[in-house]
Structure formats: C-alpha cells, structure tokens
Amino acid sequence: MKKINILYCFIILLCSSCNNNEAGVIEVVSAEEMQSLLSLDDVQLVDLRSEEDRFKQGYIINSQHVDYNSATFEQDIKDLDKTKPVALYCNSGKRSAECAQKLKDAGFVKIFDLRGGISEWKHKGKDIVKD
C-alpha cells in the first residue's frame, strides 16, 4: 500500500509539473492526496491555525505551526524553504488559500493546499495528534 501511495504522489507531482513549468504553482489537494504527499521527505507541512485551535482540535503529525493571524506571520513564512514543496492547512481552507497566494507571490516553487482543511482531514478519518 505504501508503494502505491508513493507512486500516486509521484504521479501527482509529475502531472502538476507538466501543467505549469513556472514557479509558484498552487494545487488544491484532497485529504488522500495530502496523505500521499506527506510520505515525501522534503514536503514542509504548515498548520496555519491559532495555537489554541491547534491543540484544542488536534493537528497533523509533523506539522509546523505558523499562525496566519499572528503579528509574526510574514517573518515566519520567510523561514520556510522556497525551493521545497509546502503543504498548507487550516480549519476549513480559507486561510490556507490566502496563504498559498502569499507564498506564490513570495516566490515559493510548489504549494499544496488541503481542500476543506483539517475538518475534511478528520472527516475522512485521517490521523491527528491531540496534546
């Protein structure tokens, strides 16, 4: 099953790179596609919700926390590697869509946005961490 997920992820990356060779590609992905992407070593997973929401509702394992509404947001995204894919999620997808556009404008190469946010992730029965 893991081989199928890695193959599926490779196909997604290959197809998306064929569609657009310029920097700053945003791709909205399903929970299943996101789970496959997370098996890649170089994907930066970013949780854009508040600290309170993150720990109250749970979060996807190995995600970095960058609060979209914090005063340090602009600096926090500068700390990410522009050359590596970034996978974003929030609660429902609104903040992650806005952040994806900001990352594109800032020159990030490949951006994945989880459709429906962590709400959809949980609805699909995907694993979360609760502290």
Provide the residue ranges of all domains of the chain, joining segments of one domain with +: 2-123
Is 0.85 topped by the overall pTM? no
Which among 92, 54, 87, 93 is positioned nearest to 70, based on CA atoms?
A: 54
Q: State which fold the 2-123 domain adopts.
A: Oxidized Rhodanese; domain 1 (3.40.250)
Q: What is the pLDDT of residues 27-49, one digit of tens each?
A: 999 999 999 999 987 999 999 99
pLDDT at 21 over 90: no
**Per-residue model confidence (pLDDT) at position 41:** 78
Average pLDDT value for residue range 58-81: 96
- What end-to-end distance do the CA atoms of the chain give, in Å? 29
Give yes or no for residue 68 having a pLDDT over 50: yes
Share of the chain above pLDDT 90, in %: 76
